[in-house]
Structure 1
Amino acid sequence: MKKFLSKILVFLLIVDCFMGCEATKRVAENEHLLTDNTVIINGKKENTETINNLIAQHPNRKILGVPLRLHIYNLARENRDSLFEVWLDKKPNRRERLTKKLSKKQIDNLKESSIGFNNWLKKTGEAPVILNDEKIKKSVKHFQDYHINNGWFNVNTSYNVKKNDNKKAQVEYNIDTGKPFIIDSIKYEVKSKLIDSIYQTFKKNSLIQSNQQYKTVNFEQERERISNELRNTGFYHFNQDYVTFEIDTIGTNKKVNVGIKIQNRAITTQDSIKRVPFNIYDIREVNIITDYSFEKRNQPFKDSIRFGGYNLYSYGKMRYKPRALTDAIFITPGDIFRDRDRTLTYRHLNLLRTFKYPNIEYSENLDNSLSSTIKLSPLKKFSLSLGTDVSTSNIQTVGFSVNPSLLIRNIFRGAETLQVSAIGSIGASKEKNNPDDPFFDINEIGVDVKLTIPRLLSPFYTERIIPKHMSPNTKISLATTGQTNIGLDKQTFSGTINYNWLPNSKKTNSLDLFNAQYVRNLNIDNYFDVYSTSYSSLNEIAQDVNYTTEDLSKPDGANAFIDYALSDPTPDEFSEDQLSTINSIDERKERLTEDNLILSSSFSFTNDGRTNLFDENFSIFRFKIEFAGNLLANTSKLLGLKKDDNDRYEIFNVAFSQYAKTELEYTRHWDLGDKNVLAIRSFFGIAIPYGNSTNIPFSKSFFAGGPNDNRAWTAYRLGPGSLESSNEFNEANLKLAFNVEQRFNIFENLNGAIFVDAGNIWNVLDDVEDEKATFTKLSSLKDIAVGSGFGLRYDFSFFVFRFDIGFKTYNPVYEESNRWFKDYNFSNAVYNIGINYPF
């Protein structure tokens, strides 16, 4: 490993030395290449993002200390077309000889290719940054303005340019801030007594406080805060322009005396401005036009309803239940005017997915009241979409799928949406079990029906617990799919009743009141074709003990051998390790081929601190808890149902699953500036079987590895514990994971990352007894696997293409003294391709 890193370092040094003399290749004699900016504040060097962003001219960007894009640009030739002509005529008869050999058209194409490549070098590269005096002065002004706006009113800024003989230059900025000015006294002048009485209730939260350093941004935000508070307390005509500040620093010994003024309302006439006190406005009426369009605006209404104080109008027949609309409207007749009510109304009407962006207008009445008109333009009742996909995988050579979807809006006149989706696919398997099968021997068909209701569908009154401002909705879904010639072949049926609500813009709650899943395996005889390593291990043991000299037949021969090896009494020819392997294969086979019935309820909570899609300084916390099988277990006991041979209750001849499962996940991003982001993620999950189960269904278990987990192992190949399993799909019921990744920009839309991933899965409190695979005590944490590596990401704006290389840094399958860097090389590396960031 050390030799490998040394070689890279030596290579970079050679490249840097080789390219150093070429950096000024495109710099004219009277010009200088800017290579470095240094900012010194009060005698100390500063390199923070805030300070760097104030500099108007930066040197060419570097990768590992080398201005790679500058060198790429310098590889391009100026006037490439004329240079090509010179090259053609440089030797006698070259043009004539090439014309006879290639034809004039081919020579023209060669010329265009040469020019095209030259242009690509210029576009991919970066032109040299030439020292510019005007931009230096602009940077000085930025430094001055920044420090003055943050309280250093006596700041002095100077600069020094060092020009070298090699046509390179460095700029040093020196900033002496002096002592900052501190806010001293604060005086208030509020013209309106009514506003003053309300202002006193929220004045204590002011962003301008005595003994704080002066900051212009605090004054701007305080003006906005005062305006928002008053506009949400009934003052319809108030805005930020009515809040002014007076700043006095004359003879105050670096103190700032502040005067805050809130003026009366200004009413402009033709030749004068009259000042009058502000009044509180209330909402007299709210009119809702349910089918507005510009063409209908002058037509009379044909239908109207008054409901809950709201007036609903329609140019045609009323197509909506009044409550479905009024529940999404927060401008309430009889209440005072609040600006935030309009924002909430916009948001909740959009969540209905039934109308175009609404138009909300206020009109002023003579008695200090407002009339609000909400114009709703319905979307089309039916919306049809069609998706297609072409894919390939380790299972199929090629596959084609089609996914039609029909969306029906306002299906029951309550702004509900019904979405009916279907999937149909065909594919050609790589390993045909039956040579007589047609080329497209894989097929899947499925239907998914989802109904979204914009309220909680419940026999109980839930408004006090979950009020309408939390955007409650109910989702009911039914789905079924059928697969043939894909692994064991399956039929699945599922049904869900789900509640969702949002306490605020960051928090999301989701309750699966009822979630039923039934999975039926149709082709269990194909088990040993799907899980071929299990078959290989079984076949090897059979030949070692001379059970057969030929390969075991599938599935009868393999099943017969398992029954023979595990018979009572145990045959003498098997060792303990062989019997343990056969027993594990048998247990896994029984588990993966049995049908599953899961009836569960779950609750999940998410706190997402992101302010927008581009925020890179946030945290996300997710929590989920799930219980399955309790209702069926209690019902079975009450009905006195009999248990099967494995002491489990069955429903429709299927033993239902019973377990408790929880997951905790925390993600944190730190924006370090200049497109550098440090990201971490931690995860803990455990699923405990009890009652009617001794293990967790495969679909509910955990796995490790893959492009979004521990990238030094492929998906399902890590764990459990220190077990070196030969199974294709390794899973368990306990998982720990921790990831850290440093992301940085290389150039333009190409970004890089270095990462460390740690974690593993274990079996705990289930029917697995292998010590290597189980988590018994804290000492089991020594089996946490560690992977590290690097990657590239290309940002296409609407998605990010990701390529990562993961190296096994600490591999728990080896002896404890030999786990570090055992397989740390490219031959054992894992190459991952993914879409978007892993966390």
Structure 2
Amino acid sequence: MRYASIQWLGKLVLLVTVFGWGCNTTQFLRDDEAFLSKNKIVFDKKQSGKLKNKTKLADELSRLYQQKPNSRWLWIPRQYFFYVSDDTLGKSSFGKSVSRFARKKLGEEPALFSDSLARLTAQNMQYYLQNKGFFQAQVKFFPEFKARNRKVEVTYHVAPGWQYLIDTVIFVSRDTQLEALLRQISPRTNLKPGQPVSRDLYDAEVNRITRYLRNHGYAYFYPQYIKNLQALDSSQARVKLLLEVVPPPGRSSHRVYRIGDIYVYPGYSGFLEDRPRKDTLVDGVHFLLPDDEFRIKPHTLLNSIALKPGALFSQEAMDNTIRQLNSLQVFRIVNVKYETDSLQADVLNFRIYLTPNKKWEFGLDFDISNTNRKGPVAGNLIGLTFTPSLQSRNMFRGAELFVSSLDFGVELALFDQDTISTSILNTLDFKFQTDLYYPRFVDHLGLNRGLHRLGLLSDRYNHRLRERANSNFSLSYNLLSVLNYYRYNLVNLSFGYDLLLNPNNRFIVNHFGVDFLAPTTFQAFRDILDDNPFLQNSFTRQLITGFLFRDLTYIHASPANRRGASWYLQASADLSGLEIWALNRLFNALTDRSEAWKLFDVRFSQYLRLELDLRRYWTLTARKSFVARFNTGAALPFGFTDNVPYVKQFFAGGPIGIRGWWARELGPGRYVDPITQDRRNRNLFYQTGDFKLEFNFEYRFPLIRPFNLFDTHGALFLDAGNVWSLGFSPDEEINRPGSLLSWKRTYDENGEILNDNLFLEMGLSAGFGLRMDFTYVIIRLDVATPVKNNFPDPARNNSYWVDWEKWSPQRLRWNLGLGYPF
């Protein structure tokens, strides 16, 4: 038997050897050719110890390679497919098609070493370093030819020298008015002492000065009026710099412009621009109408025009005008032009041409998504949704956008066939939604005006509300049926606004909101509810209300810094029943009662839910990155409510959480639900908590590009966290022992651990994932295993770590999803 195995292995090695020899690409080379096999960067040893961020600098320089070695498909060099596809002698049409496919999908043009390209690479590296402040940098290349396999390794020897730093910067100009202005704004310069004398900082400073001047009347100021930096003095690698702004050719100063007349052309087509138009003056702005009727109310347009007659020219005001008019979505093209007034040389007249969009539009969408439904009995599902929609622009002549849509969806348990259920069809979903978007801020009951007067809203925020916010009225009905378990009807009515404060910060606020949830349970799910009073109490008909404030979401996404690192923050607050509770308490106090109000025997939910999602992204190289995530939240009932509605509670596990456990399998606390001990029940897991704490770490890196069709990336990840109960339900510790949040270890009367420190009760899992990038969609497959349990093992001295001697592949958790988890 052993001899047969050795014989089989020998045949395999021989086959691979013969096939590899057949794929030898050196047979295609001419005598003066060699393949480039490797590029390498080596820093001068005398200077490399003084360099900061040497690894990052090496990565930046590596992006300047003019030549890169060929990659491989399995063990076959890709240039092999390129060469053999040229040989079409004696091949049939089908054979030629196969060769063309192999060349296109598997082949690469041979990377033949080129001395001129290597020289150009070294030259570009040297220029790059000099633009980073290494003015004395030297880069040389040394090719090493290996005659045996006709390959060349190229080493780039980098001697960066000193990096020159800024000492001081002097701003000068022959335009005395402009020079005074430059010195006035100089404290905000990008060229700060101690920073390197780099091209990037110089370009940023040019953009800063240009942007400021164009926003303060200098309509014809351009970057070319700012000269290159001049070094006045340098000692010990610190440089005193001069930045000069020159006047326009033939003049001694730049002219400051004011806004004159503004002409608006609604209904502009471009082909009929010479037709007669009626000139109507509204608040100092000329509207040239193609007929006698305003199809869009003039004040709607005026609210979107940031340009004001008599004000200084501002590039920002002009950009805001274009952006805000486009955001109305009633114009297909917005074109703003300006010209100097024929009588006043320092006055600019503006013409705004508005080409209308279609009033009605019908849409049809089909979507494939990974389900992250908050209801119970939700596993690792794939959702298919068919959505027809109808849009009407300028609904009430105020540029309102009316959108109505129908969603028909199903959720499939394609990868849950080891569960008790035998059907892949898990959920049926129907949703009707209608939205009315207002292109302006509508102050709900004057609430924001009152907050501003009380000093609770800043002038800047209040100004942005008036300038940029859009209001939204929404009405929806959702019927969701989880087969064999339950179905619910959800009606939602809400009103609020969406404010994009700037490209990095966004507020979404709903002042008014009412949700009516009416679930209907089937026998299989009622059996679960009978054994779990807390779930039964939170899974009833409920009214979730807010009449002054319903919810708020704040999103911050910072741009990447010079090192490729960025932040993402999402914070949300969800408040229900505060106004009802206050009125109920007042009524009870006046009538000497203690009853809780209901509407048609439906109770009002009263709770506060807070959640924070903080992420940090690091770009390590062009294709490698590291992500860290912190997620926490708390849901607190108050007033006449003992439980937070189930759909508002937190759960642990699943494809975007702690991936070593199924969704709702982990916790709460050290509690282990008996139903989770049978993996066939995984679509029945329902455990949730009032408090959540979660950490995620993920390293992402490139793997392969199969058949040159799509990129496949790998990921190594570590997840930690859990959910806990805060003990609002009086029977919580009886129904789910060990579920309460605790900062220290407590024992019961038998000396057994009852609750432990929350950090000890955090589950820990590790795993590996694939991300297949098809450009339009990313398919994610993760596999993870628990490393540390959320409960101690009394047989192993109360250790929380997994007993690897008892580990089996059944502990693996496979998660399929779309897109990145975070």
* Superposition TM-score tier, normalisation by shorter sequence: 0.7 to 0.9
Structure possessing the higher radius of gyration over alpha carbons: 1
- Which residue of structure 2 lines up, in the alignment, with residue 3 of structure 1? none
Offset at 1:392?
A: 12
- Which residue of structure 2 lines up, in the alignment, with residue 6 of structure 1? none
- Change in Cα spacing, 1:485 to 1:753, as seen in structure 2 (3 Å) is closer
AA of the residue aligned to 1:149: N
- Which residue of structure 2 lines up, in the alignment, with residue 691 of structure 1? 639
State yes or no: 1:293 paired with 2:298: no
d(CA) in 2 for partners of 1:118, 1:789: 39
- Would you say the 8 A contact 1:808–1:821 is kept in 2? no
Which of 314, 318, 327 is the matching residue for 2:289?
314
- Would you say the 8 A contact 1:70–1:126 is kept in 2? no
- Which residue of structure 1 lines up, in the alignment, with residue 3 of structure 2? none
Offset at 1:188?
A: 4.9
d(CA) in 1 for partners of 2:95, 2:525: 50
For 1:527-676, what aligned pairs fall within 5 Å after superposition?
528-530=523-525, 534=528, 582=531, 584=532, 586-592=533-539, 594-600=540-546, 601-610=550-559, 617-640=565-588, 648-676=596-624
- Change in Cα spacing, 1:773 to 1:84, as seen in structure 2 (3 Å) is farther
- Change in Cα spacing, 1:119 to 1:642, as seen in structure 2 (3 Å) is farther
d(CA) in 2 for partners of 1:30, 1:348: 62
State yes or no: 1:52 paired with 2:62: yes
- Which residue of structure 2 lines up, in the alignment, with residue 404 of structure 1? 388
Give CA-to-partner distance per residue, 1:650-703, whole Å, 9 cap, x none: 222012211111111101111111211111111001101122211111111111
Give CA-to-partner distance per residue, 1:33-67, whole Å, 9 cap, x none: 43333322231665431121233233345xxxxx5
Offset at 1:297?
A: 0.8
- Which residue of structure 2 lines up, in the alignment, with residue 350 of structure 1? 326
Larger CA deviation: 721-730 vs 333-342: 721-730
Larger CA deviation: 185-194 vs 237-246: 185-194
Give CA-to-partner distance per residue, 1:57-79, whole Å, 9 cap, x none: 33345xxxxx5556263775954
Offset at 1:781?
A: 2.2
Matched position secondary structure for 1:503: strand
- Change in Cα spacing, 1:34 to 1:602, as seen in structure 2 (3 Å) is same
State yes or no: 1:34 paired with 2:36: yes
- Which residue of structure 2 lines up, in the alignment, with residue 135 of structure 1? 117
Larger CA deviation: 459-468 vs 499-508: 459-468
- Which residue of structure 1 lines up, in the alignment, with residue 438 of structure 2? 453
- Would you say the 8 A contact 2:85–2:103 is kept in 1? no
AA of the residue aligned to 2:286: N
- Would you say the 8 A contact 2:554–2:570 is kept in 1? yes
State yes or no: 1:466 paired with 2:415: no
- Which residue of structure 2 lines up, in the alignment, with residue 811 of structure 1? 789
Offset at 1:221?
A: 3.1
Which of 744, 765, 782 is the matching residue for 2:701?
744
Q: TM-score, normalised by structure 1?
A: 0.78
d(CA) in 2 for partners of 1:313, 1:824: 78
Matched position secondary structure for 2:227: strand
Matched position secondary structure for 1:827: helix
State yes or no: 1:325 paired with 2:301: yes
- Change in Cα spacing, 1:318 to 1:55, as seen in structure 2 (3 Å) is same
- Change in Cα spacing, 1:735 to 1:256, as seen in structure 2 (3 Å) is closer
For 1:181-260, what aligned pairs fall within 5 Å after superposition?
181=164, 188-208=171-191, 213-245=196-228, 247=230, 258-260=241-243
d(CA) in 1 for partners of 2:109, 2:571: 50
- Which residue of structure 2 lines up, in the alignment, with residue 735 of structure 1? 692
- Which residue of structure 1 lines up, in the alignment, with residue 666 of structure 2? 718
d(CA) in 2 for partners of 1:745, 1:399: 28
Q: Which structure is higher in RCO with an 8 Å CA cutoff and minimum separation 6?
A: 2
Give CA-to-partner distance per residue, 1:301-340, whole Å, 9 cap, x none: 2463412x32223213202222222222211111100111
The percentage of counterpart residues that share the same residue type is 22
Offset at 1:26?
A: 0.9
AA of the residue aligned to 1:617: A
The answer for unaligned runs of 5 or more in structure 1 is: 1-13, 62-66, 87-107, 267-273, 431-439, 536-561, 563-581
Offset at 1:422?
A: 2.5
Q: TM-score, normalised by structure 2?
A: 0.79
Matched position secondary structure for 2:655: coil
For 1:43-122, what aligned pairs fall within 5 Å after superposition?
43=45, 47=55, 48-60=58-70, 71=76, 73=78, 76=81, 79=84, 112=94, 116=98, 119-120=101-102
Matched position secondary structure for 2:642: coil
Matched position secondary structure for 1:606: strand
- Which residue of structure 2 lines up, in the alignment, with residue 337 of structure 1? 313
- Would you say the 8 A contact 2:66–2:121 is kept in 1? yes
- Which residue of structure 2 lines up, in the alignment, with residue 372 of structure 1? 350
- Which residue of structure 2 lines up, in the alignment, with residue 25 of structure 1? 24
How many residues are matched? Answer: 728
d(CA) in 1 for partners of 2:337, 2:632: 50
- Which residue of structure 1 lines up, in the alignment, with residue 504 of structure 2? 506
Give CA-to-partner distance per residue, 1:138-190, whole Å, 9 cap, x none: 12111221232233333333232222343243222223333445567766542
Offset at 1:611?
A: 6.7
Matched position secondary structure for 1:838: coil
- Change in Cα spacing, 1:616 to 1:452, as seen in structure 2 (3 Å) is farther
Matched position secondary structure for 1:334: coil
Matched position secondary structure for 2:148: coil
AA of the residue aligned to 1:26: T
State yes or no: 1:757 paired with 2:719: yes
Instruction: Provide the alpha-carbon RMSD of the alignment.
Output: 4.0
d(CA) in 2 for partners of 1:638, 1:210: 63
Matched position secondary structure for 1:195: helix
State yes or no: 1:414 paired with 2:414: no
The answer for unaligned runs of 5 or more in structure 2 is: 1-12, 49-53, 372-376, 415-424, 453-458, 676-683, 706-710, 745-756
- Which residue of structure 2 lines up, in the alignment, with residue 544 of structure 1? none
